[in-house]
Amino acid sequence: MAGLYGAQMHRTPPARRARSRQTRHRALAVVLLAATVTSACSSMTAGTATPGTTMHTSAGAKPSSSATSTTTAEPAPGITVPSTAAQPNAASGEPDGAQGTIGDAGIGDPYYPLSGNGGYQIDSYDIDLKYDPDSNALSSTAKLTGTVTSDEGLTQFNLDLQPTMTVTGVDVNGAPATFEQQDAELVISPAELVAAQGALVVEVAYAGEPDLIQGGTLGSDSGWYRTDSGGAIVIGEPYSASSWYPVNEHPADTATFAVTATVPQEWQVISNGIRQTDGLPDPGAGNAVFRWALSDPVASYLTTLYIDKFDVVEGKLADGKPIVSAIAPDANDDARQLADSTGQILDVLSGYFGPYPFEAAGGIFTGLNTGYALETATRPVYGGGPIASFETVVHELAHQWYGDDVTVQRWSDICLNECFASYAPWLYDAQVNKTDLDAQWKQQMNSLVNQPRFWRSPLVDMGAGEEFTRVYDRGPLALHALRAEIGDDAFFRLLKEWPATYGGKNASFDELEQFVNTLAGRDVTPFMDAWFRGTTVPDEQFRYPGNLGN
Ligand SMILES: [Zn+2]
């Protein structure tokens, strides 16, 4: 993600996250901590009970959040997952007489305790939807294919889906399941225990009028945006997918993604990956159908859908992979020029980061006043106005390696994405424009070294709601300092070997630090602590490493 530097980057307090999730976080905190949470703990929406449901619910508390469970993801080394996020709780327990466990309502990320879910992991999403831009009516069937990871098997599990969507039916492994919507959690009870390590195929039928999830990062909303031309587009971090399909909504669970979208024939649809034209369903009279598929697993916030009357710009990367970009009717005047630069920018970045990791590339250039751009996989989305700059395009394309191919394990590791993507324009400028990066670094340091506020927020473990702040400006300073500390050889090996090693996987900042130590051939941890984890300007012994001290 990139925001309007300086203008909007620093004003997102934790309180501005999604309203529905926030109130539920508070409810959970009150229930499990009996702590100093002060408000809104009683505002959880009662679920839409389905006739015949056999959910084990209790008023107020989310039943599945306190279930006996096995969480899907191992916490990254060095990251402590509080007991509120993942610990079993005997309150709701196992259904009487049944084996198996209830999957947790969160995947175990302390920053967003209800993001994602426990007990299973998803390998692929396949969405088949109809959308009418005139009425904003969406109806859809989502097929999720995955595996149960709970050692006991599952008797109940959750998906994340915003309450603007009403679920009408759920099948698990081919059999109808009971279900209940509790705000943004879809709680599913299969007819039979789904065995440990067993295949999990979930089909969800739902409909509604998708909407924004209030209060996302950077002070902006996220989810389902309407465009001025009457279309729609989905973007948002840390969540957005749940605004239009049921999902295990956390980057720790990556999956492949495909969407078939039927729309009135005057509209077009673009999404991630490659457009498919074979074997499409009959869209019916007056309609058009589009299918897009991404065969590499990505985090769900990197999936997008854009429905509008846009221009398509096509090209090819040097290796022949297709570049497909969409230009909105109200996009900036230079959007086409930026779209045309995609191949050249990826060429330069490939020189630093290694082969481009996906099967296709491109961008979606909107006229939206989002205040941010997002690195949606293969096809980043750019807002209108000043956000759609050349530097932003370099930043979002760098994310294809750093953030999209290598995925964060926890949101506290966001520097793995944003520090590197924010350093990419430096690298680009050094190669293409012969910028003296040392001079640039010294100039910035001179103006910042005596500003304690700048150093207060660390680049790792910065706290929920603070992820998207200093990573954009302190991040590149820290990386350039690291380069001077370990030398160009080791640093450029890092830039290439990190995606080569962790591409297609989740990674933590701890793992990056170990990687750096290995490449440097010595323990650089004190330096890394000073630059990435410290809350003051780095001590003098670390402040001007290598040639930056001259
Ligand atoms: Zn970014």
Give pLDDT tens digits for 190-215. Answer: 999 999 999 999 999 999 999 999 86
Task: Write down the pTM of the prediction.
Answer: 0.84
Last residue of a domain, one of 378, 405, 432: 405
3-class state of residue 432 by DSSP: helix
User: How many angstroms separate the CA atoms of 214 and 221, rounded?
Assistant: 5
Number of domains in the chain: 3
Residues 433 and 400 in one domain: no
Question: What separation in Å is there between the alpha carbon of 259 and the centre of ligand 1?
Answer: 25
Confidence of residue 221 (pLDDT cuts 50, 70, 90): confident
User: How many angstroms separate the CA atoms of 216 and 19, rounded?
Assistant: 9
Last residue of a domain, one of 389, 405, 421: 405
Confidence of residue 57 (pLDDT cuts 50, 70, 90): very low
Question: What separation in Å is there between the alpha carbon of 11 and the centre of ligand 1?
Answer: 16
Q: What's the CATH number where 202 sits? A: 2.60.40.1730
Strands of the sheet containing 311-316, edge to edge, are 311-316, 322-327, 361-365, 381-382
Residues 506 and 382 in one domain: no
Question: What separation in Å is there between the alpha carbon of 272 and the centre of ligand 1?
Answer: 18
User: How many angstroms separate the CA atoms of 3 and 479, rounded?
Assistant: 20
Q: What was the pLDDT predicted at 367?
A: 95
Question: What separation in Å is there between the alpha carbon of 328 and the centre of ligand 1?
Answer: 22
Neighbouring-strand partners of residue 316: 322
Residues 400 and 416 in one domain: no
Question: What separation in Å is there between the alpha carbon of 374 and the centre of ligand 1?
Answer: 7
Find, among 336, 468, 312, 482, the residue nearest to 395 by Cα: 468
Residues 294 and 382 in one domain: no
Residues 252 and 333 in one domain: no
| Alpha helices (H) along 73-225 | 83-86
Q: Quick one: average pLDDT of 276-283? A: 97
Confidence of residue 258 (pLDDT cuts 50, 70, 90): very high
Question: What separation in Å is there between the alpha carbon of 375 and the centre of ligand 1?
Answer: 7
User: How many angstroms separate the CA atoms of 240 and 473, rounded?
Assistant: 25
Residues 499 and 471 in one domain: yes
Average pLDDT, the chain: 85
Look at residue 277 and tell me if it is in a domain.
yes
Question: What separation in Å is there between the alpha carbon of 396 and the centre of ligand 1?
Answer: 6
User: How many angstroms separate the CA atoms of 299 and 109, rounded?
Assistant: 14
247: its two tokens: 């999902």
Question: What separation in Å is there between the alpha carbon of 348 and the centre of ligand 1?
Answer: 18
Q: What was the pLDDT predicted at 370?
A: 86
Confidence of residue 219 (pLDDT cuts 50, 70, 90): low
Residues 435 and 534 in one domain: yes
Lowest model confidence (mean pLDDT) among 30-39, 297-306, 396-405, 520-529:
30-39
237 within 8 A of 221, measured Cβ to Cβ = no
Look at residue 338 and tell me if it is in a domain.
yes
Question: What separation in Å is there between the alpha carbon of 1 and the centre of ligand 1?
Answer: 3
Residues 379 and 489 in one domain: no
Question: What separation in Å is there between the alpha carbon of 468 and the centre of ligand 1?
Answer: 8
User: How many angstroms separate the CA atoms of 355 and 349, rounded?
Assistant: 9
Residues 168 and 261 in one domain: yes
43: its two tokens: 């505002």
Q: What's the CATH number where 399 sits? A: 1.10.390.10
Look at residue 54 and tell me if it is in a domain.
no
Q: What was the pLDDT predicted at 305?
A: 98
Question: What separation in Å is there between the alpha carbon of 522 and the centre of ligand 1?
Answer: 30
Query: pLDDT of 451-486, one tens digit each?
Result: 999 999 999 999 998 999 999 999 999 999 999 999
* DSSP, res 97: T
Residues 362 and 424 in one domain: no
Which residues does 357 contact at the CB level (< 8 Å), separation at least 6? 296, 400, 401, 404, 405, 499, 503, 504
115 within 8 A of 160, measured Cβ to Cβ = yes
pLDDT at 50 over 90: no
Look at residue 225 and tell me if it is in a domain.
no
539: its two tokens: 């001590």
Residues 260 and 342 in one domain: no
CA angle, 542 then 545 then 546, to 5°: 155
Look at residue 152 and tell me if it is in a domain.
yes
Confidence of residue 218 (pLDDT cuts 50, 70, 90): low
Higher pLDDT, 299 or 19: 299
User: How many angstroms separate the CA atoms of 104 and 59, rounded?
Assistant: 17
Look at residue 222 and tell me if it is in a domain.
no
Residues 390 and 430 in one domain: no
Question: What separation in Å is there between the alpha carbon of 251 and the centre of ligand 1?
Answer: 15
Question: What separation in Å is there between the alpha carbon of 391 and the centre of ligand 1?
Answer: 11
115: its two tokens: 């993001």
Question: What separation in Å is there between the alpha carbon of 241 and the centre of ligand 1?
Answer: 18
Q: Is the four-CA dihedral 373, 374, 375, 378 of positive or negative sign? A: negative
Q: Quick one: average pLDDT of 168-179? A: 98
Q: Is the four-CA dihedral 111, 120, 138, 396 of positive or negative sign? A: positive
Look at residue 503 and tell me if it is in a domain.
yes
Question: What separation in Å is there between the alpha carbon of 220 and the centre of ligand 1?
Answer: 15
Q: Which domain holds residue 394?
A: 310-405
Q: What was the pLDDT predicted at 371?
A: 85
Q: What was the pLDDT predicted at 82?
A: 27
Look at residue 140 and tell me if it is in a domain.
yes
Last residue of a domain, one of 405, 426, 455: 405
293: left (phi over 0), alpha (psi -120 to 50) or beta: beta
Confidence of residue 20 (pLDDT cuts 50, 70, 90): very low
pLDDT at 35 over 60: no
Lowest model confidence (mean pLDDT) among 72-81, 106-115, 266-275, 505-514:
72-81
